[in-house]
Structure 1
Amino acid sequence: MNLNTHVAFALAVGLVLFHNDLSLAVLAGIGAALPDLDREYIFTRRAMFARYQLHRALFHNLFFASAVTLFNPYLGLGVFLHMLLDMLTSPTDGGIELFFPLGRLVKDIKMDYEGRVRTSRGIMWLLEDPVRLINRTADVGLRETVKMPWLRVYGPFKNSRLADWTIFYFSFLFIQLFEIHDLLNWWIQFLSTVFLKYTFITIGLVLFYSIGELWRKKLQFKNVTDNQKLAIISGMTLGGLMIIYQGQSLFMPVRLTKSK
């Protein structure tokens, strides 16, 4: 799923749940943008991501989502919604590694897709991960370099591009209809909330992802000079620092009150 789809879907859900407070719905949208920070950007070598399969694992698991929820339940809602959509995608897109890093305790598989049974010491998974069968259609960073245990959760969305755009446009249309009674005023409040109330974290996310995607899709395949790499790293680092700077002010732990 594309990032804009995750954000739009979380915003739509947030509006339904927190209609009286737009800022909480926006927080859900911001939370939905966090898991993809584990993409294979310039900070790490692409080969390392192919070997360890960190995308859709490092920040796409129950432990990360739970930690964010304890920090701020509205951000946590966005993370869980992001994971839900990615969990519906096919092995071509990687699904998600729901129990990372515990799943990495499984080092081997009992049976591969050729039907060969293997014996090994330690914890073994029943089947080989099906991603190997469709590596030719998977993103380069998601292609497995060796046979791996079936650690990820996949869903029915075989045509992820179609599902992606369907969910995005449905979410966008739903938001317009949900706020149709005062749509212009809602857009003014929404933009004000995003760019004035959450200025640093919004700009930080845009900066980090825009530069990161430029590197991931284009620049890493070209002869980039050291100065250009430094500029890319500096821009992404600045974006990351802006996210952290305002992110720490969003601490809003869940308070459990005793009933009288």
Structure 2
Amino acid sequence: MDLPTHFAFALAAGLVFTNNPEVALLIALGSLIPDLDREYWFIPKKIYSDEQIHRAGLHNVFMMALVYLISPYLSLGIFLHVLQDSFTTVKDRGVEWFYPFTRLVKRGRLDCEGNEQPLDPKERVYFYQEDPPGLAKKADSDLRPSYDDNECRPVPWRRVYGFAQNSQILDRSFLIGSIAVILVWFFAPGNTFHIGTLMEVRSGSYSVIGVGFAAILVLFFAGEVDRRGHNPKLGRFNFAKYPIFASGIILLGVWGALMLDNIERNLRTIFLSNPVSVIMVAIIVPLAVFGVIKWKTRRGREGIV
């Protein structure tokens, strides 16, 4: 879905469930982060499309867990973004929730036409079927794999696809509905928040969030210049992507420095308030996953995800 839709939906959810504009803005800021993997970041276009980086690199649960260490509200924003993108069709490449571990599985049990494939003695875990090239070719041109449309490659169907095409009815419904919710919250009787509150810098919190928004938007701008640099009309401005990108990185560093106290408090809360739980999760979850895989593939059997 489009960035304004992600932003409005996350902001509306934050306002309704926390009744705190500062927290809601952090959630909305987090909702912008995942689509940075749509920007090429100077990766060759062929590698970018063939490796299917978009809706994978930053659209996954491990990214949410990493950002949770910085701020649970930013992590919630990423989750809401990924959840919305799970409704979109193969044209926008769905969402690869468990990237990069999904890349460890190399084949589907059924080929791209739904036919049973002979088992590979070197493989023990399979996805159920492979990604049909006839669907993959419907993706936007910069997201479309470069292999032949009719070539049946062993690419497992790793992604979650939905029913909604980007920029169509559901996207616009999310956007307009979210704006309506924000307006209802803003003008609700008894709401003490008003526009003047936005002009106040309470302990610098809004200004810190503003630096975060500036960093993300500058990085988006650098990525857009890079993506569109091959256009004959815009190509002469392609050199600008380097200083813009550097400016975004600097702003991101400034934002991180301003957030340092919040990050330290968050880490203390996570690791010091209940360290036993953290250790148990870090140990038990990997052991459980490993145990299930070994159990389902024992005696040479294949396991299907």
Q: What TM-score do the two structures reach when normalised by structure 2?
A: 0.74
Cα distance change on mapping 1:126 and 1:4 into 2, 3 Å: same
Q: CA RMSD in A?
A: 2.6
**What corresponds to 1:236 in structure 2?**
245
2:150 maps to which residue?
none
Tell me which of 154, 157, 172 is aligned to 2:179.
172
Aligned to 1:49: 48
1:192 Cα deviation from its structure 2 partner: 6.0
The separation in 2 between residues aligned to 1:210 and 1:192, in whole angstroms, is 28
Task: After superposition, give the CA deviation of every residue in 1:21-65 in whole Å (9 maximum; x if it has no partner).
Answer: 311110000010111111232421211111111111011101111
Q: How many Å apart are 1:204 and its aligned residue?
A: 1.5
Q: 2: CA distance between counterparts of 1:97 and 1:172?
A: 28
Q: Paired residue for 2:127?
A: 125
- Any idea what SS the aligned residue of 1:13 has? helix
Cα distance in 1 for residues equivalent to 2:215 and 2:26: 14
Range moving further from structure 2, 196-205 or 93-102: 196-205
Aligned partners of 1:89 and 1:160 also within 8 Å: no
SS at match of 1:198: helix
Please list the CA deviations of residues 164-195 of structure 1 after superposition, one character each: whole Å capped at 9, or x if unmatched. Answer: 11111110111011111489963443476797
Question: What is the identity, as a one-letter code, of the residue corresponding to 1:62?
Answer: V
> More displaced, 42-51 or 119-128?
119-128
Percent identity of equivalent pairs: 31
Written as runs of structure 1 = structure 2, the 5 A alignment for 1:150-189 is: 150-158=157-165, 161-181=168-188, 186-189=194-197
TM-score by length of 1: 0.86
* Worse-matched range after superposition: 2-11 or 200-209: 200-209
Q: 1:236 to 1:187 in 2, by over 3 A?
A: farther
**Paired residue for 2:266, among 240, 253, 257?**
253
Structure 1: any 5+ residue segments left out of the alignment?
A: none
Higher radius of gyration, 1 or 2: 2
| SS of 1:142 mapped into structure 2 | coil
Contact conserved, 2:65 with 2:75, CA < 8 A, in 1? Answer: yes
Q: Which residue of 2 aligns with 1:206?
A: 217
Amino acid at match of 1:189: T
2: CA distance between counterparts of 1:165 and 1:31? 20
Alignment of 1:51-200 (within 5 A): 51-119=50-118, 120=120, 121-122=122-123, 123-130=125-132, 132-146=133-147, 147=153, 148-158=155-165, 161-181=168-188, 186-190=194-198, 196-200=207-211
CA distance in 1, matches of 2:171, 2:196: 27
